[in-house]
Amino acid sequence: MRDFAYFAPSTIEQACEILQERGDGAKLLAGGQSLIPVMKMGLSEISFIVDLKRVADLTYIREDKNEIAIGALTTHSEIAKSELLRSALPLLAETASKIGHTQIRNRGTIGGSICHADPAADLPTTAVALNAMMVLQGAKNSQRQVRAGQFFRGVFETALEKGEVLREIRFEIPKGASSAFLKLTSPIGGFALVVVSCLLWVDAGYCKKASIAIGGVTETPFKAIKSEEYLSGYTLDDTRIANAADKSLEQISIMQGLGYSQEFVERIIKVQTKRVLHRALARSEKGE
């Protein structure tokens, strides 16, 4: 690992200032479950680490009217175990419970995972399905908000500007929706090949609305709008679900270098999308 300087500010303002001063060589540490391996592999020219652990009040899960607000340093374990999230945002809790291994979930944070923007990560896909809002803080306490769909810009690239910190992620509570999350990894605990998150608003088998996001196979998680449209306004049966899953392939161009043939990746996307839809539908029938 290359030498680096380390700084642990006690406020977000200080963190923003340092990021602004140091430019590209500076990087936020928010759990370190991706950053440290990247540094150990020498893949990143990081000379200055800004550790957020001393910043107060970045770890919380709060209900705020129709929304849930989560502090950026909240760990995957905390999200997975939160009673509030399990009832109000089960998709997020389910996703967090499937990340890596126990040790990774105990250290890794939602903000860290989202800002790292790894195409194979789990949370970005679910954030897109849930249409999450990223609350970004910049220099001099300036704040702006960016939707997940616009936040992920490329492989390891986000809408964060120089000197900005993701401080909170806000989710609208999807009232009446059933959801499911599914990923295929090899081996278990390894990086995912395909990640699918979905929400279905179903009433007695009739689909009012659907939200489907697919990750792992494209540079950023994508919204399977064609599949969503194909489902919305119809009664869901096996054929409609299978066809909707097939439609997910119409709008994507699969990344190179996944280590598998295009044909295999396409089959896995279809199967996983089909299965995740069935799972969400089954949950709606059970009233979950």
C-alpha pair distances (Å), 206 with each of 156, 200, 201: 38, 10, 8
Q: Is 263 in the site for another protein (CB under 8 A)?
A: yes
Question: Cα–chain-centroid distance for residue 130?
Answer: 9
Between 135 and 182, name the residue whose CB sits nearer to another protein. 182
Q: Is 262 in the site for another protein (CB under 8 A)?
A: no
Burial class (CB in 10 A: 0-12, 13-18, 19+), 164: buried
Between 146 and 268, name the residue whose CB sits nearer to another protein. 268
Among 188, 239, 256, 286, binds another protein (CB under 8 A): 188
Residue range at the interface with another protein (CB under 8 A); choices 11-19, 151-159, 182-190, 229-237? 182-190
User: Rounded distance, CA 55 to CA 113, Å?
Assistant: 18
Among 41, 83, 253, 287, binds another protein (CB under 8 A): 41
Q: Is 268 in the site for another protein (CB under 8 A)?
A: yes
Question: Cα–chain-centroid distance for residue 89?
Answer: 13
User: Rounded distance, CA 147 to CA 153, Å?
Assistant: 12
* Amino acid at site 142: S
Q: Is 191 in the site for another protein (CB under 8 A)?
A: yes
Q: Is 37 in the site for another protein (CB under 8 A)?
A: yes
Q: How many CB atoms lie within 10 A of CB 190?
A: 11
User: Rounded distance, CA 181 to CA 206, Å?
Assistant: 21
Residue range at the interface with another protein (CB under 8 A); choices 75-83, 92-100, 186-194, 206-214? 186-194
Distance in Å, CB of 208 to another protein, minimum: 28
User: Smallest Cα–Cα separation from 227: which of 194, 182, 188, 196?
Assistant: 196
Q: Is 260 in the site for another protein (CB under 8 A)?
A: yes
Q: Which residues bind another protein (CB under 8 A)?
A: 1-3, 37, 41, 184, 186-191, 260-261, 263-264, 267-268, 271-272, 275
